[in-house]
Structure 1
């Protein structure tokens, strides 16, 4: 069983989900990055009250077009739009890029802006490349009402493509993402994805013979979420009732030591939310400490992928910054695990819900749902 698991891991990790322009595009990856930077200036400039970033993103003579509720055309000068952004005035907006389509020196893009408990906007942009850079020359939008008081779960993923500084490929565990996502969404919860750097994340451990995994692998809207994960700075922790750390070898790197993700998790915990993790995802919680410097899971039962199932003599393991079980114990937690892989082993201790390996993904998600429902 253990050898089968690692064979799957090694083969699955070779399939990485890399950000790229559509196949028909003529532009270079550098153009895609420049457009992403321009759209990020728009999203963050509006959300954080930074008119200078908006002036950097838009051509000075751009116009904004929309259809009003009275079915008339609204045309708004871009200069007025930017002038209405008050410096330093932060707005609770979650922005993410849905698509970028490039053809030579022209591009179209789509961005979703979620304002929890208010509206969900879809923004459409036309961009042109001139004088060595990309500028937005046109913006249109439409919107719909956002669900009121909808509970939200924040998925934490990793941008890491290799085991440490080695050339060994690693990835986020696809099953541990899609099974939990499917369970949460079917219960009515909203889900957002965050990673240390934002943007595309590597995916592996994929089984296309599994119907759920195959369905999501070919679901363009879902895959867009993983191609355009949010940056920690775009997250308002007060919007979430739970945080979920997914696993895979990538989860061992860049997550636990990220201060912005720590801040988000601690805020969710401090307001009574759920801290959950699966398999190697448990590595992400090891540095969560309260204001007194004590681990928030001190004295709690926690599980995750144990060294019992690792090949500790292998090169991949030697890149790990720590042993999950040993580090949880060192920080005051009570690390527990089953002696058998794949037996749906999980632990619920207060608002800490953790699973040992992929087999417990659905159960962990359901326990998170149960706990959130009791919070109402």
Structure 2
């Protein structure tokens, strides 16, 4: 009997939701209009740091209010007033300013490029996909897939000198992949779109440069903390992770970065490749990036956590006798990336609490949006 009542209740809720969605409401914006979307409203609310379930309920409540009032066509200002009233009713009055800033940011079609650098097997894809869902970003570009496509078209370009060390090959690979993502980046910048780029085949120096070209100086105390964490000499507790995260964070948030294309490597590339490089550089220089939001993250893992991920979370299992070698290679990539930490936000990952890491990224991005909107 209880199960029957429960099923009836769920059925009623679903039916009510379906009825709400059958009613189309026009929202006027200047001379144009768009159809009200509960989904889009809830996503904007979530981006404004409102709990997901509350955001869904607020969006539903707004739609119900409009239907009850028979407001089948309203202005964007009227809708905004109702949104704020409903947020206040649900106890989110402190999030109204955030919503205004976020809404304004998206309305102006500000290009947003978020790049998640990092060594292999630290959870970048998981972070990128979850972050994209939170921020309502549909475009996630994975350097692994770009590399796969490039290899299928021209595998010879990935033939490196066997005598070269691992990091040299890694850098050359990153340069090649950088060329492969150029079109998507330029499109994002010129059309006011948002994209998250993630992958191991990416280095900050090939993507980011401070517009004023001033390097951010290291804090020696924090530098020691990074070294100890990286070498597994210490296990960071939450306050220490926060301290490490805050390492020059405000300076980096206050620094406006632009997307760059690396200069050609004449020792490695032929004349045709060099000319392509110059063309890509020129095309990028034509785009005004002064109002773009560009932010890099560098997630890092301690050696022990990295080992755990390699042993348990890699899609392709590594033979036991090769695990130590892979770990050393992956950690050497992390060490190389750490040399370029001045260009991105350091993100010590809590392997056992993904939400904590995502919340941190979410807050930083929101802060960047708010800073650029003021």
TM-score normalized by the length of structure 2: 0.28
- Report the structure, 1 or 2, having the larger strand content: 1
Greater C-alpha Rg: 2
Higher relative contact order (CA 8 A, sep 6+): 2
Question: Which protein has the bigger helix share?
Answer: 2
